[in-house]
Structure 1
Amino acid sequence: MEHYFSENPNTKSERKKIKYTIENKTFEFITDNGVFSKGKVDSGTDLMLKTFIKDKKFKKKEKMNVLDIGCGYGTVSVILKSFYPFLHMTLSDVNERALKLSEENLKNHNIKGYEIIKSSVFDNISGNFDIILSNPPIRAGKEIIFSIYEGAYEHLNLNGEFYCVIRTKHGAKSTQKKMEQIFGNCETEKIDGGYRVYKSIKKIK
């Protein structure tokens, strides 16, 4: 069975447009078969974005490097760049169809200041980031999910922040435990609709 974390989806292409509204702004995305949550922006990503925007009242419009790992068709990066144009976004995914959609959606929203990388987890990611956001692929298994958390720690700058959203019934408690083990801290930022948004900060151990 083919999953959205397949490298080259063989599912017949059937592109469509979906709309998504956040903070009274409406965005339009092109999606397709073989990518995650093709019919609508999923509830977990929606909750993570709303939590991040509420949490992040940037005092300085200084350039910050942000990694959108497992970017899908680019929802997180399009939204964050629209609200915070001074951020530099790096988008990564193993799914080639998703990456092409991400680039198209970024261009359709006239967004500049981003980099797109094909990568399985952190395999092709170099450099460090100030913020990393993830809606991990549950179906990929716990080993892959935990490797995302470990990689996030390794690729964050000191005091960098890792945001993660996960369904409560799909291993939220084990995610919290693992993030606490890796980072030495894990705060529950939001619980809503069967999802939890966690945040860990990379500190000196």
Structure 2
Amino acid sequence: MTGDHYFTAEPTTDAQPREVEFSVADRDYRLASAGGVFSATRLDPGTAVLLRKADLPAADTTGELLDLGCGFGPIACVLADTAPTATVWAVDVNARARELTAANAARIGATDRVRVAAPDDVPGDVHFAQIWSNPPIRIGKEGLHDLLLRWLPRLAPDGVAWLVVARHLGGDSLHRWLADQGWQVERQASQKGFRVLRVTR
């Protein structure tokens, strides 16, 4: 047993490389994964709901997109595929997750458009047309609120954030909290126990 979590900066869990296959918007993906990262053995059900129910960027979308808490990179890869003229920032505290995301960006031919970074390595002047996240609920409510208070203000004035949260892990209370912070929040969808939230200024 180890004390590693998917939000551990330098996981010591045996990597045990593997591949995860899934389809989004009629495109098939086979991405590298490994132990010590979030949902290492499959596309997380919440992420699957998010990618199915949120509005994927149009092909002509430009600017900077953010995958916050990228894990091994499924959201970042889908965004890079669907918005080939945008720049996708894939951010995670977990070094192994960042390595996997970079490798998976190379797999889909998007190395030049996916910028993999630790949170503190994203330049402060970068603002995002879209933020996508299956946020790390298990860091606790205070940690989650701090995370969102750090990144949501970096939305462009007309930007949109897409979040997915399990209802039983506080999806509805997060909706209320975001609204109390002054954000416009709509429940875009509810499926398989998950809430997909659309957040704007």
Amino acid in the other structure paired with 2:118:
K
Q: CA deviation at 1:86?
A: 1.5
SS of residue in 2 equivalent to 1:102: helix
Q: CA deviation at 1:185?
A: 1.6
Q: CA deviation at 1:57?
A: 6.4
- 1:141-199 per-residue CA deviation (whole Å, 9 max, x = no partner) reads 11111122212332111121111100000011211011112233210001000100001
Name which of 9, 23, 26 aligns with 1:24: 26
Amino acid in the other structure paired with 1:174:
S
The RMSD of aligned alpha carbons is 1.5
SS of residue in 1 equivalent to 2:129: strand
Pairing 1:115–2:108 present: no
Amino acid in the other structure paired with 2:140:
G
| In 2: Cα distance, 1:143 partner to 1:65 partner | 27
Contact 2:90 2:116 (8 Å CA) reproduced: yes
Contact 2:62 2:83 (8 Å CA) reproduced: no
Contact 1:68 1:77 (8 Å CA) reproduced: yes
- Number of residues paired by the alignment? 196
Q: CA deviation at 1:2?
A: 1.5
| In 1: Cα distance, 2:138 partner to 2:151 partner | 19
Q: Unaligned regions of 5+ residues in structure 2, if any?
A: none
| In 2: Cα distance, 1:75 partner to 1:57 partner | 15
Q: Unaligned regions of 5+ residues in structure 1, if any?
A: none
SS of residue in 1 equivalent to 2:78: helix
Contact 1:153 1:183 (8 Å CA) reproduced: no
Aligned to 1:46: 48
Q: CA deviation at 1:6?
A: 0.1
Aligned to 1:200: 199
Farther off after superposition, 68-77 or 18-27:
18-27
Pair 1:65–1:57, CA change in 2 (3 A): closer
Runs of 4+ in structure 1 displaced over 4 angstroms? none
| In 2: Cα distance, 1:2 partner to 1:131 partner | 30
| In 2: Cα distance, 1:78 partner to 1:92 partner | 13
Pair 1:56–1:12, CA change in 2 (3 A): closer
1:1-205, aligned counterparts within 5 Å?
Answer: 1-52=3-54, 55-56=55-56, 58=58, 61-111=60-110, 112-119=112-119, 123-125=120-122, 126=124, 127-202=126-201
Q: CA deviation at 1:64?
A: 2.0
| In 1: Cα distance, 2:145 partner to 2:114 partner | 26
Q: TM-score, normalised by structure 2?
A: 0.92
SS of residue in 1 equivalent to 2:144: helix
Contact 1:153 1:182 (8 Å CA) reproduced: no
SS of residue in 2 equivalent to 1:183: coil
Percent of paired sites with the same residue: 26
Q: TM-score, normalised by structure 1?
A: 0.90
